[in-house]
Copies of this chain bind each other. A is one copy, B any other.
C-alpha cells in the first residue's frame, strides 16, 4: 500500500472535478478521510493543505473544509535577474548606465519612502541590452543608506543585479501594465514613439521600509509567461 500525500491529493482532486463534492460543499474531516483512505491524518493534512494553497479548497478551524466556490486561478512566475533572463535566451548581455545622481524625488516617491522633504535619493537610469539591442530600460530611485563605502560601480554591475545579491529583501510589491512609449523612451529603446510597452513597477522593502522603487520598460515584443 503506502499511499503518499500526492496520491491523497489526486484522489481528492478527482472527487472535486467529478462533482462528487460540489463547489461550496463541506468535505469530510481529515480524520474521516484518513480512515477511509487508509493513511495517517498527517498525510491527509498535507494533501488538503496543498490543495488549499492552490486555491481549490477553503479551510477554517472548526468550520471544516469546503470546496472553493469560485476557484481562483493562482498563477506563479519567476522574476530572474535581468542578466540571467537575457543570457538564458542565448543572447549576450550588457548594461549601459545612462544617469546616476543625487536628486530630490517627486512627492509621490518621497511619500513612498517616507523620507523627509529635502533629503535626496539616488536617481539611476540605465538600459539593459540583449545582443547589443535595447531590451529593458529602467528608471530607479534608491535609498543611498543601503550603499556601502565605497559605493558599487553601477557602470559595471547593474543596480538590479547588485541589489539582488547584496541587499537582503523582506518583501515588496509589483505591478504590471501597458504604456505608450513617449518620445524620449522610444529613442532610448529604439522603437517608434507611441509603441506599446510592457511596464513593470516594483517597490522593494527591507525591514519594513522601501529601499528602492523602479519602473521597468520592456522593448516591444516582450512577453511574461506564467504557469497556472
- A-side interface residues toward B, CB under 8 Å? 16-17, 23, 55, 70-81, 84, 164-165, 168-180, 194-199, 204, 218, 220-228
Contact = CB atoms under 8 A, between A and B. Distances in A.
A166 to B, nearest CB: 9
Contact of A223 (B23, B164, B177): B177
A202 to B, nearest CB: 8
A170 B18 CA distance: 12
A224 B194 contact: no
Contact of A198 (B75, B176, B226): B176
Majority DSSP secondary structure for residues of A touching B? strand
Given A55-B78, A79-B72, A178 B198 contact: yes
Contacts of A179: 178, 196
Contact of A225 (B77, B175, B223): B175
B79 A76 contact: no
A204 B194 CA distance: 32
A42 B117 CA distance: 50
B81 A74 contact: no
Contacts of A194: 180, 194
A173 B176 CA distance: 18
Given A75-B78, A173-B228, 11 more contacts: A72-B79, A72-B80, A73-B164, A74-B76, A74-B77, A173-B227, A176-B226, A177-B224, A178-B196, A179-B196, A194-B194
The 6 A-B pairs with the shortest beta carbon distances in the complex, nearest first, are A17-B168, A178-B178, A196-B196, A178-B196, A178-B198, A73-B79
A201 to B, nearest CB: 8
Contact of A71 (B164, B177, B178, B199): B164
